[in-house]
Amino acid sequence: MPSLPILTIGGGSGQFVLLSGLRRAGRFSITAVVSMVDSGGSTGRLRGEFGILPPGDLLKCILALSPHQELARNLLLKRFQKDRRLRGHNAGNMLLTMLSRYTGSFPAGVQALAEILDVEGRILPVTTDEATLVAELTDGSRIFGEQAIDMPRGTQREKIRAVYLVPHHIDRVRVHPPVIDAIRRARLIVIGPGDLFTSIIPNLLVPGVAEALQQARAPLFYVLNLMTKYGETHRFSARDFVLELEKALGRRVDGIIGNTAVPDRDLRQAYARQKAAQVKIGASQAWWEERKVVTADLLDASGGILRHDSDKLAVVIKQIAKSTPIPRPQGRARIRP
């Protein structure tokens, strides 16, 4: 059976989990579009010192799609300790930075590292332009940088009203052209899982991406978060997640993928201390209308951390691919951003 062209859109650990499962499923020809606004840790330092695009989320995708994942993780995520300049950086980020500078192109550096690790799929930065993510809160204040938005200080913070990108050296952020072509060629599109305002929506803020998704013929499914997150999606219902995403998309999603498993009491209480609660889906609620709702046990609670189980998620997506009408590929006319 030929592989189904699937496009994933996201960033962070959520996309790593999704891609790991899809690769092992062996059913898909995978293209991953990755957010480029990470500003924390080793990634943030490299961005500031060398002026390169943030490599962290791309590195996660490269590892996820490599058949040598376990060995590569042990090597490339190892952090330097002895050298003063290198201390705190991980080996993968440094290697990706070196390859990008040597080739003169960040996408070429990504491709080179992917080649080293025999990556099964394509990994595309959503943009090759530097930009800072800014969140505007309901009190009118602004927070600059993905890391600051992601990790609120104090016990109270206004809700996020909107997020937008501020380009560094040009008048607007431009989409990486292969992204538009990948959206057009996809036969199934999966957005998420990941932090809504810092991993998912930043992809859709790049001019041309939402417009291409509005014209896409492929079914578009959204993987709902397992838990809310204080400072971003505090007290969000499943409906709130979907409506915020659809506002950024400018269209309705075709389906939602959600978890039904309930974490044990101790884990729920641990997350409650972080002001996080489980996102529950009322699949019978009338407001879902024509959106297809697919639910299953998708939970991985190993190590005391709640995440999607990559293999369970891949099984659900395989079932969607079998049961959802998938359009034939379009002609070769490009959708211009």
Distance (Å, whole) CA 190 – CA 179: 14
In terms of C-beta density within 10 A (0-12 exposed, 13-18 middle, 19 or more buried), how is residue 328 classed?
exposed
Structure tokens at 238: 């499943």
* pLDDT for res 259: 96
Helix (H) or strand (E) holding 109: helix 106-116
* pLDDT for res 299: 96
The CA distances from residue 321 to 183, 220, 242, 266, in Å, are 17, 11, 21, 36
Helix (H) or strand (E) holding 165: strand 160-167
| Three-state DSSP string of 31-78 | EEEECCCCCCHHHHHHHHHHCCCCCHHHHHHHHHCCCCHHHHHHHHCC
Other beta carbons within 10 Å of 75: 13
Residue 253 Cα to chain centre, angstroms: 16
Distance (Å, whole) CA 30 – CA 122: 6
Q: Which amino acid is at 148?
A: A
What are the b/e assignments for 263-287, b being 16+ CB within 10 Å?
beeebeeebeeeebbbbebeeeeee
Contact 136, 168 (CB under 8 A): no
Distance (Å, whole) CA 307 – CA 255: 20
Digitized pLDDT (tens) for each residue of the chain, 337 residues in all = 568 999 999 988 899 999 999 999 988 999 999 998 865 444 444 444 444 556 678 888 999 999 998 888 878 877 766 667 766 667 778 888 889 888 988 899 999 999 999 999 999 999 999 888 999 999 999 998 887 887 766 565 788 999 999 998 788 899 999 999 999 999 999 999 999 999 999 999 999 999 999 999 999 999 999 999 998 999 999 999 999 999 999 999 999 999 999 999 999 999 999 899 999 887 667 778 889 999 999 999 998 899 999 999 999 999 999 988 877 555 333 333 3
* pLDDT for res 155: 60
* pLDDT for res 258: 95
- Helical pair 56-64 and 69-76, crossing angle rounded to 10 deg: 150
Distance (Å, whole) CA 162 – CA 132: 14
Structure tokens at 38: 């990470």
* pLDDT for res 39: 54
Distance (Å, whole) CA 108 – CA 90: 20
Q: How many Å is the Cα radius of gyration of the chain?
A: 19
Residue 272 Cα to chain centre, angstroms: 24
* pLDDT for res 334: 36
* pLDDT for res 329: 53
* pLDDT for res 336: 36
Contact 12, 199 (CB under 8 A): yes
Contact 115, 107 (CB under 8 A): no
Q: Residue 30 contacts by C-beta under 8 Å, 6 or more apart in sequence?
A: 6, 8, 19, 22, 23, 65, 120, 121, 122
Distance (Å, whole) CA 200 – CA 205: 10
Distance (Å, whole) CA 30 – CA 7: 6
Residue 300 Cα to chain centre, angstroms: 18
The pTM is what? 0.89
The CA distances from residue 21 to 142, 216, 297, in Å, are 37, 24, 15
